[in-house]
Structures are given as structure tokens and as C-alpha cells.
Amino acid sequence: MPRPLIKENASVPGLRETDVLYSQTRAHVHLNRLKHNTAILRKYAGKAPLMAVVKSDAYGHGILHTARALAQHGVRWFGVATTDEGLLLREGGIEERILVLTGPPVERLHELPKHELEVTVSSPAIADAVLECATHAFRVHVKVDTGMGRIGIAPGQAERIVTRLDRAPHVKIAGLWTHLATAYSDAGFAREQLERFDHVVGKIGDAAETIHATATGSILRFPEATSWNRSLARAGIGLYGYTGFAEDYGLRPAMTLYSKVTHLKKVTPGTNISYGRTWTADRTTSIATVGAGYADGYPRILGNRAFAAIRGQRYPVVGTVCMNMFMVDTGPEHTIAVGDDVILFGAEEKHSENEPGAADLATWAETISHEILVGVPAHVPRIYFH
């Protein structure tokens, strides 16, 4: 087993080593797997350098530890969601380039160039605000909405706005970018978006230092998304071991969420389990209570849907998941003991098919693996392994 870095890597400020050791639920984050996943994504991205998207606390993995590990592995770009995330990286010693992917509040715009944070210009109003702060040396990435319908400048407006920004003495157009809405679900529409973006690139792309249109799905499935000169490849969920597709492409889940068996009992036929009496024993069996619940990032909807792994075997979750506990049916014969580790999702060093992944939980919870990962709250200790 790799050596844990407990004292220096606990994720919650003020957390004691004993809190980590005796917490029922904890997340193991394998930094070597982040590096493994980066190497695979680089292979698919071709000549395009990677931008590691570490927003939302690096998808729950810990933004500083993740960024430091990836920087040591040669990643030179990071993407964050907010100005504060960018400042956190700077305060943590990250010197690489950082793009704030969302349009910043105009009242905080002046903070970004002071800390060498690059700005997403996603509307004419933000472009105007950048031009009004002309004394600052802004590096901007103009976001074009080619079909996502979220933020971004309409393709027909992009040329005028890029031209205005390009003429400003203190503005450098560091990027021109877009985001695909259906890389996982509708290849035809994704390619239509890429064609729209290519039309914009053909008109004004020479003004930009980089061109970027990818996320993990498009890196893996659409090589044309990194085919422009000066392409940059944004990678998010793939860094953490998930693809959004049935195929894993050799990626390895970086986080394993553990809890412990806290109680064991025998039950007879007709015994009800948990709130709402949603599960009733149909035979004499044993029930193990696990010390995690929806307050710890294990969704309530998983009751009677999911399985958890104990001692390398899978056991069904029975009854309603509670705030801090859930139950599994271990069967009438087992070797489980109170204190045993329970894998909620993720994998040990040698992965077993009996260990559910975040993608499995996402299927059972009718969501995506991204939500499962970022749903692990800050109070759950992160323990880092090299």
C-alpha cells in the first residue's frame, strides 16, 4: 500500500491526525493516478498542451494537492471556475497560467491581472469593462457560444469584439474558445458546433494566442477539436479517472471513498430496515450498518439501488440511506466484522469488479460521475498517496 501523507495533507483546516485516522468516512486520493490519467489524455490531445480543469476543489479531490501534482508532471495551464479559486492556487504557490472559465463580476475584474489570472470575456459587457480598466495588462480568452447556450458571445458578434480588444494597448487576446454541449450524447451536433467555431477561427483566430474547444469527451472522440494551430486541450473529468463513456480508455479513478462497518446484527424474515420501511427481509440474514450517509456524499437515492464492497465482495444497499448511515444486506453467512473498511466508490490498487466506481453510483443515482465526486463534502478527510 502506498505511504499516506496524513499530517500535511488533511483537507480540513485544523484537522488533527487522529481525526483522520478515526473518521468513519475518508477519501483516499492517489496522485500517481492523476499523473497516469494526464499521460493518457496527452496522447489523445496530440500536440495540444493540456489545461487541467481544477474547478470545484478539483472535482472534490483537493485543488492545491491536485494542481501541485499536475504541475510537477508538466501541466502548465489550469482552469478554475472563480476568481477565488485562482487566488487560492496563487497563494498555494502555483505559478502556471490560470484561466478563470466563467465571466467574472465586473467589480472584481481589476483583481485578475494583479495576480496574473486570465479573464474569460463572455459578453459585450465584460469586454467593455476590460477596456475601461485599460491601465491593467489583461490577458483575455474570448468565449464564443456555438450552441451550448450558457455563456459566450454570439459568433456574429465575435469579430467586432475581438477587434476592439486587439486594438487596446493593455489587452492581450490569450485565447479564443468554445464549449461543446453534446460531446457525450450527439456527435452530429458536436461537429456542427466545431464547424461554427472553425468559421470564427478562420476569421479572427490569428488574433488569439491559443484556440481551445475541448473537454474530456471531445479530446477522446474528436481529434479535430485539437487540430488548429496553437490548440489547447482543456481536460476535466478525465484527469480524475472518468470519461462519460462506457469505455474507460485506460483511465484510473483517482479517488476511493471509504467508510466502516459500525454495527452488525442478525434479522429474521419480516424485519424492516430504515426510514419508510422500504426494504423488508425475506429470509434470515445479517445487516451491516455503514458509517456514512448523504451528509458524507452518499446520495439518499441509492437506497435499494446500489451495492458497496466489503472484503472484496459486493453487498446490496438496503433501505433508505440516512444522513450519517446506511445499511447493507451481508447475507446469512459472512466473515465481516465491525470496523471493516467499506468501499463506497473507487478502487484499491488492484481493481476488482466488485468495487463500484463513481460512474456506477451516478447511474444508480440518475446523475453523472462529476456530481458524485464534487458531492463529497469538505468535512470528509482527504488522505493523499504518491
Catalytic one of 22, 47, 266, 275: 275
203 annotated active-site: no
Taking the C-alpha atoms of residue 202 and residue 158, their distance in angstroms, rounded to an integer, is 12
- Listed residue (210, 267, 221, 273) closest to 246, CA to CA: 221
**Pairing state of beta strands 307-310 and 341-345?**
antiparallel
Taking the C-alpha atoms of residue 34 and residue 251, their distance in angstroms, rounded to an integer, is 9
Instruction: Provide the angle, in degrees to the nearest 10, between the axes of the packed helices 155-167 and 187-204.
Output: 30
Taking the C-alpha atoms of residue 232 and residue 252, their distance in angstroms, rounded to an integer, is 23
Instruction: Provide the angle, in degrees to the nearest 10, between the axes of the packed helices 31-45 and 63-72.
Output: 60
Catalytic one of 55, 240, 298, 384: 55
275 annotated active-site: yes
* Residues 305-332: b if buried by 16+ CB within 10 A, e if exposed: ebbbbbbeebbebbbbbbebbbbbbbee
Phi, psi of 32 (to 5 degrees): -65, -30
Q: Contact at 8 Å (CB) between 326 and 359?
A: no
Question: Who's near 214: CB < 8 A, 6+ residues apart?
Answer: 45, 48, 180, 222, 225, 226, 233, 234, 235
- Active site positions, annotated: 55, 275
